[in-house]
């Protein structure tokens, strides 16, 4: 079970077994961990580490001594997770059973096509590989630039697949956000611009698509002195996204006035019973006494809005008192709370 998590996509971050953030080591120690995390089998030779991180040392023995001192300090800072870091006289490595790496998780998800994990991993990317790390050694800086280009491509692939997966699920905003993250990784890739524009079009965000199209042309003209590939322009006029975005969501069933005969009769009967309960027998209506307020029938705005154009006729219904059961009371409650859509009487302006 991993007892240490190392995240390098963004500023390097160390977390303990339970997710707690550990103190950030110094630049050389972080660079050392970055070298190990990207090395085959998480192992690097001492000679290679010295060349990358202590090239300024006056001699090879001095550089090797500096490496040993760095390992001592790093183990002290890792505390209980120190056993993740292993070394012998020739190499330094990380125990793969005790450490988890964001880099390894992304590679694994892309290789296996893990549709559930890919969108989640896309959200976890915080920036470029070892963002902000500076050790002041030219050899390491050159190595770092190469690794950043490598992982920019990896993250672009991750974000592109995340956008496609989210688009297929109908999650437009999340898919567009993933496409924008891809564009940050490869800003001069025509496909990335075209994919973002097509997604915006597919999910009805034409203004965003037009803005993305203009931004692409401006960027290429400013930085490259050229126009983007024709596919960028085609994406703006297209209504189909290549990853099969559902362009129209299933229509919701909207209640209409064409009800089955029995349903219409039941609804009308319930309404009539409710009015009968509230108003009483038509022939026995008495004017309100001066000291009593007249009674009003109040209907929720939602119910009123649903029947603005409805027409109906009501006839007195004479039913035995014991036939007004719980279903009638339920119908009355639904009418007053706006939970039904058949026509009702309501005061003007309610």
CA distance 280 to 33: 84
What is the number of other CB atoms lying within 10 angstroms of the CB of residue 131?
13
124 and 221 both lie in a single domain: yes
Quick one: 195 and 269 in the same domain?
no
Residue 250 domain-assigned (yes or no): no
* 52, 145 Cβ separation under 8 angstroms: no
Estimate to the nearest angstrom the gap between the alpha carbon of 344 and the chain centroid.
43
Distance CA 158, CA 241 (A): 18
**Strands, sheet with 85-87, edge to edge from the N-terminal-most edge strand:** 43-45, 91-94, 85-87
**Length in residues, the chain:** 350
pLDDT at 204: 94
One domain for residues 132 and 233: yes
pLDDT for 325 equals 47
pTM of the model: 0.68
pLDDT at 194: 97
pLDDT of residue 58: 85
Residues 215 and 302 in one domain: no
Q: Do the Cβ atoms of 46 and 92 come closer than 8 Å? A: yes
d(CA 36, CA 258): 70
pLDDT value, residue 237: 86
Identify any residues that bridge with 14 across adjacent strands, giving them in sequence order. 6
Name the residue range of residue 328's domain: 259-279+297-307+318-350
**In a shared domain, residues 54 and 88:** yes
123 and 229 part of one domain: yes
Can you give the CATH number for the domain in which 36 is found? 1.10.10.10
Do both 227 and 135 map to the same domain?
Answer: yes
Answer yes or no: do 160 and 134 share one domain.
yes
**245 occurs within a structural domain:** no
Please indicate, yes or no, if residue 195 is contained in any of the structural domains: yes
Total of domains in the chain: 3
Q: Are residues 229 and 264 in the same domain?
A: no
Domain end point (choices 101, 133, 151)? 101
The pLDDT of residue 265: 45
Rounded (10°) CA dihedral 130, 136, 138, 140: -30
* Res 311: pLDDT: 43
Residue 343 falls within a domain, yes or no? yes
Per-residue pLDDT of the chain (350 residues; tens, 9 = 90+): 899 999 999 999 999 999 999 999 999 999 999 999 999 999 999 999 999 999 988 899 999 999 999 999 999 999 999 999 999 999 999 999 999 999 999 999 999 999 999 999 999 999 999 999 999 999 999 999 999 999 999 999 999 999 999 999 999 999 999 999 999 999 999 999 999 999 999 999 999 999 999 999 999 999 999 999 999 999 998 755 554 433 333 333 333 333 444 444 444 555 555 544 544 444 444 444 444 444 444 444 554 454 444 444 444 444 444 444 444 444 444 444 444 444 444 333 33
107 within some domain: no
Sheet arrangement for strand 13-16: 13-16, 4-7, 99-101
> Does residue 152 share a domain with residue 42?
no
SS3 call for 298: coil
SS3 144: helix
Instruction: Based on the fold, state whether residues 274 and 211 are members of the same structural domain.
Output: no
197 CB-near residues (< 8 Å, 6+ apart): 209, 212, 213, 216, 232, 235, 236
pLDDT of residue 1: 87
Cα 223 to Cα 140: distance, rounded to the nearest angstrom: 28
342 within some domain: yes
The residues, any chain, with a CB within 8 Å of residue 68's CB and separated by 6 or more, are none
Domain for residue 284, yes or no? no
**Final residue of a structural domain among 56, 72, 101:** 101
Specify if 216 maps to a domain.
yes
Domain harbouring 232, CATH code: 1.25.40.10
Q: Are residues 164 and 97 in the same domain?
A: no
**Alpha carbon distance, N-terminus to C-terminus of the chain:** 64
């Amino acid at each position: 079970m991993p007892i240490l998590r190392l995240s390098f996509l963004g500023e390097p971050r160390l977390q303990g077994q339970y997710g707690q953030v550990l103190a950030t080591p110094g630049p050389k120690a972080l660079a050392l961990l970055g070298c190990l995390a990207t090395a085959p089998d998480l192992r690097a030779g001492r000679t290679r580490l010295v060349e990358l991180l202590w090239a300024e040392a006056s001699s090879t023995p001095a550089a090797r001594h500096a490496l040993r001192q760095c390992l001592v300090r790093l183990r002290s800072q890792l505390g209980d997770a120190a056993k993740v870091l292993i070394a012998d006289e020739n190499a330094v490595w990380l125990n793969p059973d005790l450490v988890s790496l964001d880099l390894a998780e992304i590679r694994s998800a892309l290789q296996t096509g893990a549709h559930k994990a890919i969108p989640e991993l896309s959200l976890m990317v915080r920036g470029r590989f070892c963002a902000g790390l500076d050790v002041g050694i030219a050899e390491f800086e050159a190595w770092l630039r190469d690794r950043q280009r490598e992982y920019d491509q990896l993250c672009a692939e991750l974000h592109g697949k995340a956008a496609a997966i989210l688009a297929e699920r109908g999650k437009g905003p999340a898919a567009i956000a993933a496409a924008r993250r891809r564009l940050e990784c490869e800003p001069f890739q025509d496909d990335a611009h075209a994919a973002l524009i097509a997604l915006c079009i597919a999910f009805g965000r034409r203004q965003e698509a037009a803005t993305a199209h203009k931004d692409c042309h401006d960027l290429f003209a400013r930085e490259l002195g050229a126009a983007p590939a024709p596919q960028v322009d085609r994406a703006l006029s297209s209504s189909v996204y290549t990853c099969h975005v559902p362009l129209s969501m299933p229509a919701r069933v909207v209640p209409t006035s064409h009800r089955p005969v029995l349903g219409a009769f039941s609804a009308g009967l319930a309404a009539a019973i409710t009015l009968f309960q509230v108003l009483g027998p038509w022939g026995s209506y008495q004017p309100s006494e001066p000291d009593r307020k007249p009674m009003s029938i109040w209907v929720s705005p939602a119910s009123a809005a649903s029947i603005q154009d409805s027409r109906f006729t009501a006839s007195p219904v004479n039913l035995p008192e014991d036939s007004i059961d719980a279903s009638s009371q339920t119908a009355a409650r639904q009418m007053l709370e706006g939970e039904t859509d058949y026509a009702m009487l309501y005061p003007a302006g309610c």
